Amino acid sequence: MTSLNLSADEVLTTTRSVRKRLDFDKPVERAVVEECLNIALQAPTGSNHQGWHWVIVEDAGKKKAIADIYREGWNKYAKGAGATYAEGDSRAERKAKVVDSAGYLAENFERSPLFLIPCIEGRLDNLPVVGAASSWGSLLPAVWSFMLAARNRGLGSAWTTLHLMDDGEKRTADILGIPFDKITQGGLFPIAYTVGTDFQLAKRQPLADVLHWDTW
């Protein structure tokens, strides 16, 4: 598959949550998704358990049904307007753009050529911290590896979780035949080629504000 040939640092620092620049009209080949997933399978996994599963959705009816569930979660979330920041916090300056972008994705979610739902074996509800950290630590690095591999192939995505609100996870599981009592979903990802590939570094809080040496 065609690669952008980005360096490791470039792919790590320019893999963005892509919403408005997803190309909904360009098909995504199964082969390129599987190539990215084969890379993802090389991610660390606790005790070599490899308990991950990957559900790709391309059926239009199923995408629409899952997108409707996502929109229900978005409408609830949007009413609260998300996170709040102190006066002078630079994140507040970008909040309106982020909300607008997320709203655009919610309105158009089913237009994505493919959805990805990464899953992990076991129900993680009410696990002690050590159990939850171990399980998520065996899935999330693999998901991030997938996103990095996708970026280097001209694909974009966004890590969303709002379809998991209330009974959304169970309803999604029913649509896709996921055994809800045995499998936990980790997110919902639109998969599409991007409009252009020139993504830049994001503005982040200074390292000094979040770095702690020896004590908090």
Average pLDDT over residues 102-128: 96
Query: Rounded CA gap, 105 and 73, in Å?
Result: 13
Q: How many percent of the chain have pLDDT more than 70? A: 93
- pLDDT at position 98 is 84
CB 10 within 8 A of CB 185: no
Q: Which domains does the chain have, with CATH numbers?
A: 8-79+91-195 (3.40.109.10)
Query: Rounded CA gap, 152 and 14, in Å?
Result: 10
The amino acid at residue 105 is L
Average pLDDT over residues 179-187: 98
- Model pTM score: 0.92
